[in-house]
């Protein structure tokens, strides 16, 4: 079984900053980690490899520093890594990212299964998985909570839905986004870190993928951030002196205040 796991390097939650002029996230000089939900996709891939043999290739799109995330995935048990990088990709929204990732997956074909986390913590949209599936023309399952069994031509997946769980059977090749219920991600071993340090991480740019320049970066992103507003915390309140006003009058003023704020 040939598995491709798509991961993303994201800023740690407390370090997220936005460029108010371009409406894009500032990533330079910010400490970054592997998207936590992508770690569950890596774990799912490793379990499938152990049960059915095969090979896992990690794909990430980002700045050159994202190579660290790819090597971390290799240290957990993946065999190979690819980093899609270049200035032409800067500012890509979920549509442009899905397009580029799908072309990378095509370049790695044939593959049986494409795995990724249900969403990234820096955007919280959950759109890249479905977008990649759409560009590749593959069946899609989101919010997978259990993967398997595999019968050679298809895979059975249990997914979490609002009313409980449902079971799907998807033909290969297919795209699956994974949730936390899949199982706790394993830690890297010393031997895995040594192997990751020696591993060759392929670097692909726009020319390597054969992508259309008009579909990359800000130019190829239909999403536009037109305004960024920072919430203002207003802690002003109204004090009622019950001893002076009396309980009846204080209660009346409290009700008037709640009605004024549309809370009643």
Which sequence spans correspond to the domains of the chain?
Answer: 2-215, 231-264
Asked if 177 and 142 touch (Cβ cutoff 8 Å), the reply is yes
Q: What is the pLDDT of residues 9-53, one digit of tens each?
A: 998 766 566 666 665 666 566 678 999 999 999 999 999 999 998
Q: Which string of DSSP letters, residue by residue, matches 180-191?
A: GGG-PPPPPPHH
Threshold 0.85, pTM exceeds: no
| Residue 18 in tokens | 């936005």
Give yes or no for a contact between 257 and 239, defined as CB atoms under 8 angstroms apart.
Answer: no
Instruction: State the pairing for strand pair 164-171/154-161.
Output: antiparallel
CATH superfamily, domain 2-215, is HUPs (3.40.50.620)
Strands 154-161 and 140-150: antiparallel
Q: Which residues is 169 bridged to in the sheet?
A: 156
The residue among 225, 224, 216 whose CA lies nearest residue 96 is: 216
Q: Is the pLDDT of residue 225 over 90?
A: no
Angle, vertex CA 68, rays to CA 63 and CA 73, nearest 5 = 120
Q: Where are the beta strands (DSSP E) in 104-219?
A: 113-117, 140-150, 154-161, 164-171, 174-178, 201-204
- Residues 125-154 as b/e (b if ≥16 CB within 10 A, e otherwise) read ebbbbbbbbbbbebbbbbbbbbbeebeeee
Residue 231 predicted with pLDDT over 80: no
pLDDT of 25 reads 62
Identify which of 109, 100, 168 has the alpha carbon closest to the alpha carbon of residue 128: 100
**What span, in angstroms and rounded, lies between the C-alpha atoms of 77 and 43?**
9
**CA Rg value for the chain:** 24
In this predicted structure, the answer to whether residue 80 has a pLDDT above a threshold of 90 is yes
- Cα 42 to Cα 114: distance, rounded to the nearest angstrom: 11
Q: How does pLDDT run across 86-137, given as a tens digit for each residue?
A: 999 998 999 999 999 999 999 999 999 999 999 998 888 999 999 999 999 9
């Amino acid at each position: 079984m040939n598995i491709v796991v798509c991961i993303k390097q994201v800023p740690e939650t407390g370090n997220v900053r936005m460029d108010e002029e371009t409406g894009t996230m500032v990533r330079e000089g910010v400490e970054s980690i592997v998207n936590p939900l992508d770690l569950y996709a890596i774990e799912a891939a490793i379990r499938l490899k152990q049960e059915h043999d095969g090979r896992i290739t990690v794909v990430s799109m980002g700045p050159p520093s994202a190579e660290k995330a790819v090597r971390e995935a290799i240290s957990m048990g993946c065999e190979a890594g690819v980093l899609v990088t270049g200035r032409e990709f800067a500012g890509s929204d979920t549509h442009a990212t899905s397009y580029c990732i799908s072309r990378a997956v095509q370049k790695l074909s044939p593959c049986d299964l494409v795995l990724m986390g249900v969403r990234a913590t820096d955007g919280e949209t959950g759109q890249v998985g479905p977008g990649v599936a759409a560009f590749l023309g593959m069946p899609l399952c989101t919010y997978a909570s259990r993967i398997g069994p595999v019968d050679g031509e298809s895979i059975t997946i249990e997914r979490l839905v609002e009313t409980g769980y449902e079971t799907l059977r998807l033909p290969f090749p297919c795209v699956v986004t994974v949730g936390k219920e899949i199982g706790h991600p394993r830690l890297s071993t010393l031997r895995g870190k040594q192997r990751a340090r020696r591993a060759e991480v392929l670097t692909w740019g726009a020319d390597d993928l054969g992508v259309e320049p008009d579909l990359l970066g800000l130019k190829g992103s239909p999403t536009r951030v037109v305004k960024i507003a920072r919430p203002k915390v207003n802690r002003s309140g109204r004090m009622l002196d019950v001893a002076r006003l009396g309980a009846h009058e204080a209660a009346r003023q409290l009700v008037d205040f709640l009605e004024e704020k549309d809370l009643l």
